[in-house]
Amino acid sequence: MDTKDLTPLLCVVGPTASGKTGLAISLAGRLNGEVVSCDSMQIYKGMDIGTAKPAPEETRGIPHHMIDCASPFEPWSAGFYARESRRCIEDIRARGRVPIVCGGTGLWLRALTQGLSDMPDCPQREHGPDAYERLRRVDPATAARLSPGDRQRIGRALDVYDATGVPLSEFHQRKPAPRYRAVCVGWQWEREVLEKRIRARAADMLARGLIAETRALLDVGLAPDCAPLRAIGYRETVAFLQNNEKQTPDALARLTDEIAIGTRQYAKRQRTWFAHQTETVWFDPGGGPEAIINWWHGSFEKGAVSAAD
C-alpha cells in the first residue's frame, strides 16, 4: 500500500534533549491534539526524572498517552507498544482530535507506523561474553546498529538466528504494509548547542533527585542490570550507588559528565537513525512551533503528497 493513501500521522522526533516534549505540547495545543509518547522508558511507572517525563504543569492540560502504563518489572516489546499505541491513536481520532506521536525510540516508531516483520517465536537463551562478536559474524547488519552493551537486543538477535538459521536483519527486510503515513518533524540544533542542552539536562536530573529515584527502584527489587536500569542516566547512577560514592560536588560533577557522554553517544545514534529511516522535516527552533503549524496546515490538511514536498 502506498502511504499516500493513508491519513497523515504527525510525529515529533529527534535526539534526546532536542525539545520534543515541549514542541509536541505546543503543537497539540494549537491543533486540538493529544500526545502519544513513543519512548521506551517513559512507559514505566516510578521512572520519572531519568526519563524526562513531562510534569503535570508542563503538559498544559494536554492529555498524554503511553506514559506510566507499565511496571518496570514488565518487559515491553516494540510490537506490544505498537498495538497499544494504535488503540490510543484510533480513540483520539474517533473523538475528533489530532494524535501527535512524540519520542526518540526509533524502532518503536517504525513498529507503530510501518508495522513489524513477522518474527518467529524463539526460546530465550543465555549468551556468553562474546555474544556481540558472535553477532558480528552471523548478522553483521544487526550488529552494526546495536551498541556492544545492548545485551537484550543482542541476545534477541542471536536467539532468532539460532532458532531459524536466518539473520534478524533478513526478517527486518520483509517489510509489512505501512499502518500510517508518518509525517515526522523536529528541531534542527547545531551540534554544539545540542551538546550544551544535553549536559544541562544531565545536571538538572541530578538536581531534581535522580540518585534518590534510582535508589528507590533498586529498593523495590529491580535488578541493577535489568533493561530499565540499563537506560542512560540510570545505569551510570546505579554504578555510582554500587561504588558507595558520597554526593560531593566533585563526585556529582563526574556523574554528570558520565551521563552527558552516554547521552551524547545515544543522541548521535538517534540522529543517524532518523536521517536514514524516516523522511523527517527539520525546522529551525528560532521559528518556533508556528512555522511547523503553518507548514502542517498548508501541506497536509490541504492534501499535499508527501512530507518531502
- Radius of gyration of the chain, Cα coordinates, nearest whole angstrom: 20
* Share above pLDDT 90 across residues of the chain, in percent, rounded to a whole number: 70
pLDDT above 50 (res 87): yes
Reported as a pLDDT band with limits 50, 70 and 90, residue 215 is: very high
Average pLDDT over residues 275-296: 91
Q: What SS3 class is residue 281?
A: strand
Looking at residue 2, its pLDDT comes to: 54
Cα gap 202→209, rounded to integer Å: 11
Nearest C-alpha neighbor of 156 from the set 87, 257, 146, 268? 146
Number of residues written out for the chain: 309
53 vs 75, more confident: 53
* Residue with grid cell 544541562, as numbered in its chain: 200
Whether the Cβ atoms of residue 65 and residue 85 lie closer than 8 Å to each other: yes
DSSP assignment of 153-170, as one string?
HHHHHHHHHHHHSS-HHH
Cell output for 92: 483520539
Cell output for 233: 542516566
pLDDT above 90 (res 149): no
Q: What SS3 class is residue 184?
A: strand
Whether the Cβ atoms of residue 16 and residue 103 lie closer than 8 Å to each other: no
Cell output for 235: 545505569
**Rounded to whole angstroms, what are the CA distances from 307 to 88, 178, 210, 281, 295?**
23, 15, 38, 7, 10
**Rounded to whole angstroms, what are the CA distances from 7 to 1, 42, 183?**
12, 26, 10
Contacts 24+ apart (CB under 8 A), 246-249: 247/211
Residue spans of alpha helices (H) in the chain:
20-31, 56-59, 78-94, 106-114, 131-138, 140-145, 151-164, 168-173, 191-208, 210-219, 234-242, 249-277, 288-299
Looking at residue 31, its pLDDT comes to: 94
Q: What pLDDT, in 10s, does the model give residues 1-28?
A: 456 668 889 999 999 999 999 999 999 9
pLDDT above 50 (res 303): no
* Residue with grid cell 503515513, as numbered in its chain: 181
pLDDT above 80 (res 172): no
Average pLDDT over residues 190-209: 96
Whether the Cβ atoms of residue 251 and residue 245 lie closer than 8 Å to each other: yes
Whether the Cβ atoms of residue 177 and residue 3 lie closer than 8 Å to each other: no
pLDDT, averaged across the chain: 90
Looking at residue 122, its pLDDT comes to: 76
Q: What pLDDT, in 10s, does the model give residues 239-283?
A: 999 998 899 999 999 999 999 999 999 999 999 998 887 889 999
DSSP assignment of 10-37, as one string?
EEE--STTS-HHHHHHHHHHHHTEEEEE
Looking at residue 308, its pLDDT comes to: 35
* Residue with grid cell 498524554, as numbered in its chain: 64
- Residue 247 sits at φ, ψ, to 5 deg, of -85, 60
pLDDT above 50 (res 309): no
pLDDT above 90 (res 179): no
pLDDT above 90 (res 171): no
Question: Which domains are delineated in the chain?
Answer: 7-117+181-299 (3.40.50.300), 126-172 (1.10.20.140)
Looking at residue 4, its pLDDT comes to: 66
**Rounded to whole angstroms, what are the CA distances from 178 to 6, 280, 301?**
9, 17, 20
Looking at residue 5, its pLDDT comes to: 67
Looking at residue 119, its pLDDT comes to: 66
Cα gap 119→124, rounded to integer Å: 14
Least confident among 54-68, 75-89, 114-128, 152-166: 114-128
* Residue with grid cell 547521552, as numbered in its chain: 263
